[in-house]
Copies of this chain bind each other. A is one copy, B any other.
Amino acid sequence: MDLQYNQEEEQFRAEVRAFLAGWPLRGEEASLPIAEQETLFRSQAIERGYVYRDIPREYGGGGQEPDVLKDHIVRAEFGRAGAPGSSFLQGPAMLAPTLMEFGSEAQRRRFVPPTLREEIRWCQGYSEPGSGSDLASLQCSAALEGDDESGEWVINGQKIWTSNAQNSHWLFGLFRTETDAPKHKGISYLLVPLDQPGVEVRPLKQMTGGLDFNEVFFDDARTGADCIVGERGQGWQVSRATLKHERNLIANPNLMRDHFDAVVDLARTTLRNGRPAILDPGIRQRLSEIECYVRTNETSNLRQLSAAARGEELKCMLPMMMNKLYSTDTMQRLMEIAYELVGADGLLAPSEADLAGYAKGEGPTGWVEQWMFSLGPAIAGGATNIQLNIIGERGYGLPRDQRPTR
């Protein structure tokens, strides 16, 4: 155990901090629209090798050797400064690493640079109405017309839960291309432009009132024969790599800490039996227990990061499998307290402001929204029961479910 960073790492951190002194922008640049300011600053950060660090320069990345700890330092320092670093958008965060691992040279050159510059925005098309936890049963089809080089995929069917589809140019996702193959082997990973007559995007309103998701309908939609990532029928394996990135996003420990601190503040300012709720012994017991979960999540993530930096992930496979369940359970426990503390204002619906983005709850209706939304992660990205199966089967070697078909 050595929680001190070594000299090289501290040196690196100092450099990053010096660079971040340039954010927010000053002078003329400060009068640009905020989106342009972010693009400008991020391109400088890429240039310095801080952002998209692992992606080579010829594809628009930082061109650095992989280094988990430096990644961590950059994330921490950019977070502290509120500066635009590596984007959490699905293009840069999920598709770009996938193309770097599985894409052809032509695909990388064509798509990765504009994706990192956010000139092409992406959404993810995995789930279908009939295929949720059993994703491999998906039916949205793509048939190749013409040959492998100049032909086109013709796409029919429907995707659902596509975040940001209304703001995206392209969709990456899974399509059934081999109708005779066993279900996992008939799937290919395709890139599909959304701005075409055969594609319709419909927003899907959540019960909170928010509009984070969409349905996407394909009716003889088309994409180039060269827009397949990996081989035909290999889409399942390709997508597993992408999902890994998504799971890591969900388990972000800093977000949980921010929420925890905010609930403690709520308990300070809310009365219970005539005293601040933070003085109520029952609330104190529960908040203490939840902070133990929060702190466990933080330290376990740090442990996994450290293991990854040394190539020793095998030493912490069990806690890695548990990250998502652990963090979603903890968030739900936390939000139960927030919803209780809000009291009678639980009668109020979330406001427009509460629904914008991933804002933390501010005011009672924000907490109501957060409490409702805390159900979402337990459903998304692999439902709780699927997570429990994975932990039981891969973690503890228990047998797989009996199923009528396999």
Contacts and interface: CB of A to CB of B under 8 A. Distances in A.
A26 interface: no
Nearest to A403: B402
A401 B404 CA distance: 11
Contacts of A401: 402
Nearest to A277: B281
Interface string A284-301: 111000000000000000
Contacts of A272: 281
A282 interface: yes
A336 to B, nearest CB: 13
Contacts of A150: none
A162 to B, nearest CB: 32
Nearest to A275: B281
Contacts of A283: 282
A7 interface: no
Contacts of A284: 282
A31 interface: no
A401 to B, nearest CB: 8
A292 to B, nearest CB: 16
A4 interface: no
Interface string A381-406: 00000000000000000000111100
Nearest to A285: B282
Interface string A72-115: 00000000000000000000000000000000000000000000
Contact of A282 (B280, B402, B403, B404): B280
A402 B283 CA distance: 43
A279 to B, nearest CB: 9
Nearest to A280: B281
Contacts of A273: 281
A286 B280 CA distance: 13
A272 B281 CA distance: 10
Name which of A280, A281, A401, A404 has the most chain B CB atoms within 10 A of its CB: A281
Contacts of A404: 402
Interface string A260-288: 00000000000011000000111111100
A282 B273 CA distance: 11
A403 B404 CA distance: 10
A382 B283 CA distance: 37
A281 B278 CA distance: 12
Contacts of A281: 272-273, 280-282
Interface string A327-357: 0000000000000000000000000000000
A193 to B, nearest CB: 43
A283 B285 CA distance: 11
A288 to B, nearest CB: 11
A286 B283 CA distance: 12
A391 to B, nearest CB: 19
A359 B116 CA distance: 71
A275 to B, nearest CB: 9
A172 to B, nearest CB: 35
Contacts of A285: 282
Can you list the 5 inter-chain pairs with the closest CB atoms, starting with the nearest? Answer: A282-B282, A402-B402, A281-B282, A280-B281, A282-B285
Interface of A: 272-273, 280-286, 401-404
Given A280-B281, A281-B281, A282-B282, 12 more contacts: A272-B281, A273-B281, A280-B282, A281-B282, A282-B283, A282-B284, A282-B285, A282-B286, A401-B402, A402-B402, A402-B403, A402-B404
